[in-house]
Structure 1
Amino acid sequence: MSGVRRCSRTACQRVAVATLTYVYSDSTAVLGPLATYAEPHCYDLCAVHAERLTAPRGWEIVRLSPGEFTPPPPSHDDLLALADAVREAARPAPRELPPDPDAERSSVEVGRRGHLRVLRDPVLGEPLP
């Protein structure tokens, strides 16, 4: 799933619904709907923090969309990723075969070199290649 943008406020995990930008030359904070792309000098805010926003003394707040902020609808990519996740979860798990009781008797370890083992072929009696 594509990353859902979260509120920029520390320890807030809510979904962002508004974008805050500052115009320092005019001492203005501009709060509007969630921007299409996350910008490095903008702050994404959840509905709670967007409603509680205050500006420093002497600054003005311009609210571009008065009223309720709503989270953006899921994108086409989000829906495809969700469908893929559901298909993957519904797929049956591969069955494990029961251990072969003759497997240990079928080959004999002849030597070791680090984590590698040299096994002897039980039929021919020679080390396996």
Structure 2
Amino acid sequence: MSPVRICSRTACKESAVFTLTYVYRDSTAVLGPLAAYVEPHCYDLCAEHADRLTAPMGWELVRLPVEDTEPSSDDLEALADAVREAARPTRRQEPVGQGIEVSRRGHLRVLRSDPSSGTTPAADE
């Protein structure tokens, strides 16, 4: 059996029963059942502090339902994976071969569309 985890709030010595995590990209705080493992950037909270929790201004607070039974490790891993995936930045694909360079000024290029590609002109840095 794992040791009892204590609430992350300063000076609180109560047992933690919830885990709080943030998805900064979506301005969302997620409060769910106590995670199976201590994760960096997550906060364990007791019942009292979880009940009084509010999200920062402009943020959404999502409270996941807590079941009477112990959550499975699969549920917690799926939640952690979903939070990590939501926080992962998406990479924007650079256009390649979609135009013909017509002019250059400093680091900027003026491109003319290749008529066969069906794209519109674009400025490229």
Scaled by the length of structure 2, what TM-score is found? Answer: 0.51
- Closer, same or farther: CA 71–34 of 1 in aligned 2, 3 Å: farther
Aligned-residue Cα RMSD (Å) equals: 2.2
Provide, for residues 17-53 of structure 1, a one-character-per-residue CA deviation record: whole Å limited to 9, x for no partner: 0000000000000000000001011000000000000
- SS in structure 2 opposite 1:49? helix
Identity of aligned residues (%): 73
Structure 1 segments (4+ residues) deviating >4 Å? 69-73
Residues 71-90 of structure 1 correspond to what in structure 2 (within 5 A)? none
* Structure 2: runs of 5 or more not aligned: 71-125
Residue 24 (structure 1) aligned with residue 24 (structure 2): yes
Count of paired positions: 70
Question: 1:54 and 1:39 mapped to 2: Cα distance?
Answer: 21
Residue 3 (structure 1) aligned with residue 3 (structure 2): yes
Residues 1-129 of structure 1 correspond to what in structure 2 (within 5 A)? 2-65=2-65
- SS in structure 2 opposite 1:61? strand
Larger radius of gyration: 1
* Structure 1: runs of 5 or more not aligned: 74-129
Scaled by the length of structure 1, what TM-score is found? Answer: 0.50
